Structure 1
Amino acid sequence: MSTLRPALLTDHYELTMVSAALRDGTADRRCVFEVFSRRLPAGRRYGVVAGTGRLVDLIRDFRFDPAEIDFLRRTGVVDDRAARWLADYRFTGDVDGYAEGELFFPGSPILTVSGTFAECVVLETLALSVLNHDSAVAAAAARMVTAARGRALIEMGSRRAHEEAAVAAARAAYLAGFRFTSNLAAGQRYGIPTAGTAAHAFTLLHDDEQAAFASQVATLGKDTTLLVDTYDISQGIRNAIAVAGPELRAVRIDSGDLAVIAQQSRELLDSLGATETKIIVSGDLDEYAIASLAAEPVDMYGAGTAVVTGSGAPTAGLVYKLVEVEGRPVVKRSEHKATIGGRKVAVRRHKPTGTATEEVIVPQGVPDRQPNDRLLQRSFVVEGEAVALPTLDESREHLRECLISIPWEGLKLSGGDPAVPVTVVPAS
């Protein structure tokens, strides 16, 4: 778990609102905030909820220490009244929402934060930064998992992201079905299996390619992966098998026309007797590149930049909006950004076969439950105390089951309507 203190991961305007609300007496009004997306990123048919476990940990640790309060007071961000309030801050409200690994669609109330206005409003930036990032990565990774058609993927994008974002991205990719990560911090924090080979620099360090391969095999044994495209791929494969023998676990190819090279490499490996040696490909792979290799003899994909940046959609487009004050629904009416007032309850409707047909959302009420409906929200924090959450592996399995449940058209990589339509019905 990160040692990062979360309290100042907060926008200035949140504390401006707290200061003013404390002064005018509205800070303690009971409120409900909801996190949702008005639309999915272009070309996407579903979103994936990710980061909830991280967010709950951060809310638990959300405290202002004396040095932070002194900074806020000295710089005029807060006045004395607000500084005293921050010194005693502890979230005492409730957090409910969709489980990690759940799919979401436009309007889905994926997180509900309730409590006093002041204690809830200061969590806006924290909630959105965690959920927008992790959900974007998880959605991209899930599309790659679908495109891979059962072949394993390794997340290897740490060098393309902020150091903490890299760890969060590795977690989100594993949630989405990636088999491994190259990020050791993610392995330590979250128990994600780690894997790695070697860089071209290791080959270039040695006098020749065979010397580099011999060193790696001597250290790690034949159950390793040799990077064979530093010079000439075909000769690299010959050198790898000459050094390690046909029992070599895998070769990795990181450049070139991967479709053609994969075919040629498989033929060459087989001709050398290395029929069980696997082929791993990497090099700016996204879901479309992975899908294009579906018919080729590739055993594993390594994805880096595309997965940690959301493959063209680096944010999930989530917003955090006030929907209820003292039990009264409140509505933002601005054009193109209107909200639906009131706390929402959501169910996903299914056929008897298990295929999802509709998401039904009821503001200020309870849905008329039908057979095969599944209630989507669950408790994460109750009166300030975190409840037991599913493990990362359980959330990973939940997402796998959710993806199986949506109509097959919803798994297409091409643009189209959301995989499951959302219906907002009047409160009962």
Structure 2
Amino acid sequence: MTMSTALLTDHYELTMLQAALRSGAAHRRAVFEVFARHLPGGRRYGVVAGVGRVLDELEHFRFGDEELTFLRENQVVDESTLAFLADYRFSGSIHGYREGDVYFPASPIMVVEGSFAEAVLLETLILSIMNHDCAIASTASRMSNAAGTRPIIEMGSRRTHEWAAVASARAAYLAGFASTSNLMAGRLYGVPTAGTAAHAFTLLHDSEQEAFEAQIASLGPETTLLVDTYDVAEAVRTAVELVGSKLGAVRIDSGDLGAAAQDVREQLDALGAFNTRILVTSDLDEYAIAALAAAPVDGYGVGTSLVTGSGVPTAALVYKLVARETAAGSLEPVAKRSVGKPSRGGRKQAYRLMDESGHFDTELITTSGLVPDGGIPLLHELVRDGEVVGREPLATARIRHAETVARLPQEALHLGRGYAAIPTEFA
């Protein structure tokens, strides 16, 4: 039985609903928008991720007997509100940027339209998914850019919440990582999985040679042997003696990774293991990966920095009401005017413009109905009349991301703090 996602929400969503039902405003048509006022961490672009997970969770957003009993026993809302929730089904529409696309300040990456009562209840669920997944994907994209053609395995499961680890692996793969160590991500999302052995495996055996022999016998000569449990040079010598030039890879997990990789490469070549790859791990982030660009490294493993967003664990997305139904039945723009937290009212469309070289030039946000010549429409139908219509394979989002990043201006790939890679304009 699939668990309901209805209580993955904040208390005040339900108290707003109760008050709106009492005032009669709950059934007014409303438009909510997910956007970021800025890109946190001085980053040049954000990556859209989590859309598929939102669609999955939306289908399970139901208030069953257990959820209603909890709300009743804890006196969260009154009986008339409980009766509304018992029949709750989102019947509105959702449009959004596609997964793998990029976004910039004020990009309306998701637009939720329905009655106020239906749409307001989705705020917390949507933001919790999108803020996490967009932050992780944005981080993974920076790491992938720094790595170039060298593959990265995601291995952060032991550094975060168990389900955040699964979502992180999905977001990282979308943004260019080659594989994950997380088996649940493999099962649920088809992310390729990989892994061999930790230091504990070597320490278990009476000698490093005995450990290597056991691993090779089990996984074959193409396996990756961890060589820094004791003495790196001695471990490399033992590994090549056991397998010869067929040894797949060695992994270094400590010390000065650049210097160690250089020493190991020279040793492997001297022993005739020219095709043996060198993988490095150990608290890598995008800056460390970039610093290793000239080192003889063939791949990276990234854990803690990936699942914590490399210091930027949230995308700073908000969910704001931008239009409401008037007494006459038309939609009226509304906007927050708080100091430092303004929003722009109105149901929006979004387009991306390109320059003559085929690179992205401008993010154009419009409430006027203007359709710019050559503009690429960014909002796509995800949910129609409450039914999911915009689900895509993760592989499609992964391809889209690679193609989209290739069209960003070169400065978008800089790791230093800066401004958005392209400006956002309004019309």
- The reply to whether TM is greater than 0.5 is yes
CA RMSD, Structure 1 to Structure 2 (Å): 1.0
CA distance in 1, matches of 2:6, 2:171: 23
Is 1:344–2:348 an aligned residue pair?
Answer: yes
| Residue deviations 1:7-56 (CA, integer Å, cap 9, x gap) | 10000000000111111111100000000000001220000000000001
Partner of 2:328: none
State the SS of the aligned residue for 1:284.
coil
Alignment of 1:14-53 (within 5 A): 14-53=13-52
| Secondary structure of the structure 2 residue equivalent to 1:320 | strand
* Partner in structure 2 of residue 355 of structure 1: 359
Deviation digits for residues 359-397 of structure 1, max 9, x if unmatched?
11012x2234113x2000001000000004221111111
Helix, strand or coil: the match of 1:50? coil
Corresponding position of 2:410: 408
**Corresponding position of 1:392:** 394
Change (3 A) 1:169 1:3: farther
Distance apart, 1:74 and its partner CA: 1.1
1:43·1:413 contact (CA, 8 Å) conserved in 2? no
Opposite residue 275 of structure 2, the aligned amino acid is E
**Letter of the 1:297 counterpart:** P
Checking the alignment, whether the CA contact within 8 Å between 2:2 and 2:60 is kept in structure 1 is no
Matches within 5 A, 1:207-356: 207-326=206-325, 327-356=331-360
Residue aligned with 2:364, SS? strand
Contact 2:100-2:401 within 8 A present in 1 as well:
yes
Summarize deviations over 1:151-197 as a string: whole Å, max 9, x none.
Answer: 00000000001011000000000000000100000001111110002
- Structure 1, unmatched stretches of 5+, are none
**Which residue type is aligned with residue 422 of structure 2?**
V
Residue aligning to 1:188: 187
Contact 1:133–1:316 (CA under 8 A) maintained in structure 2: yes
Residues in 1 aligned to 2:420 and 2:73: alpha-carbon distance in whole angstroms: 49
TM-score (norm 2): 0.97
**Contact conserved, 2:55 with 2:391, CA < 8 A, in 1?**
no
Q: Any runs of at least 4 consecutive aligned residues in structure 1 with deviations exceeding 3 A, and if so which?
A: none
- Matches of 1:43 and 1:341, distance apart in 2: 26
Whole-angstrom CA distance in 2 between matches of 1:146 and 1:19: 48
Q: Does the Cα contact within 8 Å between 2:383 and 2:390 map onto a contact in 1?
A: no
1:69/1:83 contact within 8 Å kept: yes
Kindly tell me the number of residue pairs found equivalent between the two proteins: 422
Cα distance, 1:85–1:286 mapped onto 2, change above 3 Å: same
2:172 maps to which residue? 173
TM-score by length of 1: 0.97
Distance in 2 of aligned mates of 1:368 and 1:377: 13
CA distance in 2, matches of 1:29, 1:239: 73
For 2:54 and 2:390, the matched residues in 1 are separated by 14
* Deviation of the 1:417 alpha carbon: 1.5
Is the contact made by 2:3 and 2:60 (CA closer than 8 Å) also made in structure 1?
A: no
